[in-house]
Structure 1
Amino acid sequence: MTLYHIHLVMARNKDFPDGNVHRGYDIHAPLDADGRLDREAWEKVPSACTVIRFWDGERSELGYLVHHPKGGWAFDYDPADDNDDETGYRLSNHVFKTGEYISVRDHGADELHTFVIASVTQAD
């Protein structure tokens, strides 16, 4: 299984007209031939599929890419606490390719943030 490093940074919005490269995610995940999250490959080694959330000088959070039984993907920072999960908007359908946009619902808030995929590279 090949893992990819997906680097997301906050896209332009009303608070950050130029975006914000200091807010985002570094994701290690398997992608299929079309660039979508590969659930079958993820099921083989879910513990290798990590997420690091970085946010303007706050302490980075380490979590995991998880697939919920209802079909959606999320970032889970504490398996014992569902309240900390950050869900992606239709991540199952997204193609992870540089320049595409992804929306993630911030944990602790009902707000969706939009991120641009800054890079997708094969992980070491």
Structure 2
Amino acid sequence: MLHHVTLHLARSKQFPEGSPRHGYVITAPLDGQGHLDWEEWLERRAHCLVRRFWAAEAERQGVLVHRPGGSGGATWMIDYNQGRLGDEEAGYHLHQHRFAEGEYVTIADDDGKPHTFHVVSVIPAEPGRTGEHR
């Protein structure tokens, strides 16, 4: 089932309290335990959209992709321009992490610098509104 997952930047040296002004809203297929569902992604990948918000920077729109390689045999990534290599942001072991409120995930920016994010909400995508971000 598709869900809208909101991630906020977790506490770090630069942001001791974390930051709700830095993060993502990801529409992703999750199984009953909150793990990314590769089989559903194959069927519904056109609806797996990502909105990146980063304080004063312009928002970026992308898609959630699953690529061969990496640990576990594949890597979940955010791709902002599917026609150009090098703008992707890779998730760190996203196939193992639960997307549930209170959990943490790590995503490396397009320069490869990892950032840890706090899962602040996981909301089922409403029928007829799949892929929209609020």
TM range (shorter): over 0.9
**Cα displacement (A) at 1:103:** 0.5
**Cα displacement (A) at 1:82:** 2.0
CA contact (8 A) 2:89 2:112 kept: no
1:20-35 equivalence runs, <5 A:
20-35=19-34
Instruction: Give the SS at the match of 1:43.
Output: helix
Match of 1:95 among 88, 93, 98: 98
**Cα displacement (A) at 1:9:** 0.2
Aligned to 1:120: 122
Deviation string 1:38-88 (CA, Å, 9 cap, x unpaired) is 000000021100010000021110100000022110000000122000000
Count matched residues.
Answer: 122
Give unpaired runs (5+ residues) of structure 2.
127-134
Matches of 1:117 and 1:98, distance apart in 2: 5
Give unpaired runs (5+ residues) of structure 1.
none
Q: Does 1:19 align with 2:5?
A: no
Moved over 3 A (4+): none
RMSD: 0.8
1:28-67 equivalence runs, <5 A:
28-67=27-66
Counterpart residue type for residue 28 of structure 1 = T
Matches of 1:44 and 1:114, distance apart in 2: 29
Matches of 1:69 and 1:39, distance apart in 2: 12
Q: Does 1:75 align with 2:78?
A: yes
**Cα displacement (A) at 1:110:** 2.4
TM-score normalised by structure 1 residue count: 0.95
Matches of 1:111 and 1:44, distance apart in 2: 31
Counterpart residue type for residue 34 of structure 2 = G
Matches of 2:112 and 2:6, distance apart in 1: 23
Deviation string 1:7-49 (CA, Å, 9 cap, x unpaired) is 0000000011000100000000110111100000000021100
Share of identical aligned residues, percent? 43
Matches of 2:66 and 2:88, distance apart in 1: 11
Aligned to 1:105: 108
Counterpart residue type for residue 61 of structure 2 = L
